[in-house]
Amino acid sequence: MRRKMVAGNWKMYGRRASARILAREIEDGLPAVLPIDVLVCPPAIYLEAIKGVLGESARVMLGAQDLCAQGEDGARTGEISGAMLLDTGVSHVLVGHSERRQLLGETNESVGAKLVAALDAGLIPILCVGETLAEREGLRTEAVVVTQLQAVVNVAGNDAFARCIVAYEPVWAIGTGRNATPDQAQAVHGFIRSWVAEQTDQEIADDLRILYGGSVKPDNAAALFAMPDVDGGLVGGASLKASDFIAICRMAGETARAGT
């Protein structure tokens, strides 16, 4: 059975002191034993500080929000390589978050290159895919998602899905207070798993963890996580409040124990 994950994307929020407090509250507030993976992704400048708080905790892993598409060291002012992230204690990295696609001009091709760089560095990439409201209303959700997935296959090969996590994040549900219903999320997650099975094999598809991201909150997490192809959440705003994030983690743990 796939192990559920709850990942907190702190985006560009916080200061050193508040980030350390948030990490400590999450670490202290989680149950001693939790049958899920928990990940926090603070701003890059605070990764080392948060690693100092978490130490070698088996309960909370450290993730980054982005990395350079060129893996080797070089004259790339302002960039951070996968090797640097790994050296800081990072285990996972987001690639292709919709905010980077929309606001910073990342393309499907550049996202694919970043995923390859993450894999080459020994990191686990969390590939973000999803459609805008106009694309959903135009009945193009599946076509958009396939284009985003295919771009990864084009540069990384089909076996990339054996070494990464996918996060479905409908753009229209990020930071808007709207979220896909459990049935809507399940429909896309199921589609992604079926597509991966067709491209690779059923075993890889069955093992692929697919997270839902888009206004995940304590009041909707349980219903989302109960869907058979929803393997946890990529949590934005609610990850900035320790009590909310811990509540979401507990709900993921309950659905994991229930076998859903």
Tell me if 243 is assigned to a ligand binding site.
Answer: no
pLDDT 10s digits, 104-113: 999 999 999 9
- State what percent of residues in the chain have pLDDT above 90: 87
In this prediction, residue 260 carries a pLDDT of: 65
Residues in the chain, total: 260
pLDDT 10s digits, 193-208: 999 999 999 999 999 9
Phi, psi of 55 (to 5 degrees): 60, -135
The yes-or-no verdict on residue 177 having pLDDT over 70 is no
In this prediction, residue 190 carries a pLDDT of: 98
Number of domains in the chain: 1
Q: Which residues are catalytic?
A: 97, 169
The yes-or-no verdict on residue 178 having pLDDT over 80 is no
Close Cβ partners of 228 (under 8 Å, ≥ 6 residues apart): 186, 190, 260
The yes-or-no verdict on residue 226 having pLDDT over 90 is yes
In this prediction, residue 72 carries a pLDDT of: 83
Which residue range forms the structural domain that includes residue 147?
5-257
Q: Read off the CATH number of the domain in which 9 is found.
A: 3.20.20.70
Tell me if 138 is assigned to a ligand binding site.
Answer: no
Angle between helices 141-156 and 182-199 (to 10 degrees): 40
Average pLDDT over residues 130-143: 93
41: confidence class by pLDDT, cuts 50, 70, 90: very high
Within the chain, where are the H helices?
16-29, 47-54, 82-88, 98-103, 108-121, 133-137, 141-156, 182-199, 202-207, 221-225, 242-257
Tell me if 112 is assigned to a ligand binding site.
Answer: no
Tell me if 172 is assigned to a ligand binding site.
Answer: no
Tell me if 236 is assigned to a ligand binding site.
Answer: yes
175: confidence class by pLDDT, cuts 50, 70, 90: low
Tell me if 217 is assigned to a ligand binding site.
Answer: no
Average pLDDT over residues 10-25: 98
The yes-or-no verdict on residue 259 having pLDDT over 90 is no
Sign of CA dihedral 52, 56, 57, 63: positive
How far apart CA 235 and CA 213 sit, in angstroms, is 6
